[in-house]
A and B are shown apart, each in its own frame.
Chain A
């Protein structure tokens, strides 16, 4: 008997890679471009990050939102663009769980960007281990840490 719950499929992946490559037009002015292989690797990373964090996703779109949010960051350059996106993706799904899904995708990305460009000065270690950890702790304990949720743009 085949498993009824098939969460991933080649067709869905193909569509997602196409959507990621579509972001190049937007990021090119910042000198950031992804090749097809990099887009495939990114999509695979999304799959692994989802699996690792016990989540499923329909329709995707988070990679595009991350690219759109971070492409104008002063700390991002072509040399570590792909690597940073991999890290951001992992951090994103990890903190979706840690914040108990209380923040929408766009809100969480906005908070990530604010911290990355601000107090973390482009450090992914500080972002994951310090700022977002504090945010999720505050959210879980029922409050919002003053001054962190900035009311900036949502990337929904």
Chain B
């Protein structure tokens, strides 16, 4: 917590969140905190750092580099220095540290902090993915899971720490300050974490039906999912309906409209915040999540006020479309085992003569669906063994395999590898046996 009594020459609000280090030096020089000589020394130190980075980047192959390349590396250095400088509670302290400890020491600090931030952001991402709500919206999963995963694959904290690499298509509800590199991704994922966490309090069905009230094609739209859910939950609370059902109707929206028609934006925001507090108490939401919800009320009050004025409140407090939810199972594979381990498992399975032993080994060794598919194809199973293996799988795994190999194929059956043909035949046999057993029930 900052000390309000302390007088600072550099106003932290005037510093850019994105280009923090450059703006800090600019302000420090303009305010006289930094003398010309000290500024020149820092410039030279930055150039030394740049020269060292360029040499490492080129791996000694080339002594020159295109200006754009050098500028990119320089921005990475500035970003890292900015991370270190932001750690000081006051900008003045950061400038003093720059002078007393030197640019290089601060850069090393910043690099350590950047790498730690990468680690903590990875953990945050893993937590989000593990508890991700199921949504048909294609941008939600593709950005939060695949997009962020791609970021971590490409991110280089040494030579391109300011790069974001991905477009982060899915919009979060609350706009936040302009940031770069891992700082942006961390902030973005923090928002996603809270939003996903809140949506997790509602059933997939309720969310789907609510969003269908916005558009039947919401799954193809680049839209935020949390905003409508929060708005509807607040609306339900305001009209005495159970919030978890997200079940507003035209009458309820009319009631909300009447209640808000004479209110100013400040009053609307106060009402929304009070309702969020009640909602948090009823739903026993954690304090941090409640804080995020409360902060969302500011943006929400703007759209609610506008909707009241234009008579379009049903576009903000959505009325769900019932009977459109078709639940489906998704199989998400975990990380595949490494190649050496995989070869060992294949060898062990091929050497084992007991069918029960092979099935037991398969269940013990395999944790990822993709590995299971590979082993079903690569290990030498007889068709009877394969049938027993498939029968021992969970229904979701059987369904996913059927979708992959037993459903009508886009290519000719003769084009399949022998392992794929064996798996297909076994799956068809398994499903026929099921159909016979369950009479007329159709599974797929």
Contacts and interface: CB of A to CB of B under 8 A. Distances in A.
Interface of A: 1-2, 4-7, 50, 54-62, 93, 96-97, 101, 104-105, 156
Given A58-B54, A59-B51, A2 B39 contact: yes
A109 to B, nearest CB: 11
B25 A57 contact: no
A105 B63 contact: yes
B306 to A, nearest CB: 41
Given A56-B70, A58-B51, A58-B55, A1 B29 contact: yes
Given A1-B26, A58-B51, A59-B51, A96 B68 contact: no
* Chain B interface extent, by class: 20 to 34
Contacts of B36: 2
B364 to A, nearest CB: 47
Interface of B: 22, 25-26, 29-30, 36, 39-40, 43, 46-47, 50-51, 54-55, 60-68, 70-71, 74
A50 B67 CA distance: 9
Given A56-B67, A105-B61, 10 more contacts: A1-B29, A55-B65, A56-B64, A56-B65, A57-B64, A58-B54, A59-B63, A60-B63, A96-B62, A101-B66
B63 A58 contact: yes
Nearest to A46: B64
Given A1-B29, A4-B25, A96 B61 contact: no
B50 to A, nearest CB: 7
A57 B43 contact: no
Given A4-B46, A58-B54, A96 B64 contact: yes
Nearest to B39: A2
A69 B186 CA distance: 51
B46 A62 contact: no
Nearest to A56: B70
28 contacts: A1-B29, A1-B30, A2-B36, A2-B39, A5-B71, A6-B47, A7-B70, A50-B64, A55-B67, A56-B65, A56-B66, A56-B70, A57-B63, A57-B64, A57-B65, A58-B51, A58-B55, A59-B51, A59-B55, A59-B63, A61-B63, A62-B63, A62-B64, A96-B64, A97-B66, A104-B62, A105-B64, A156-B61
Contacts of B43: 2, 4, 6
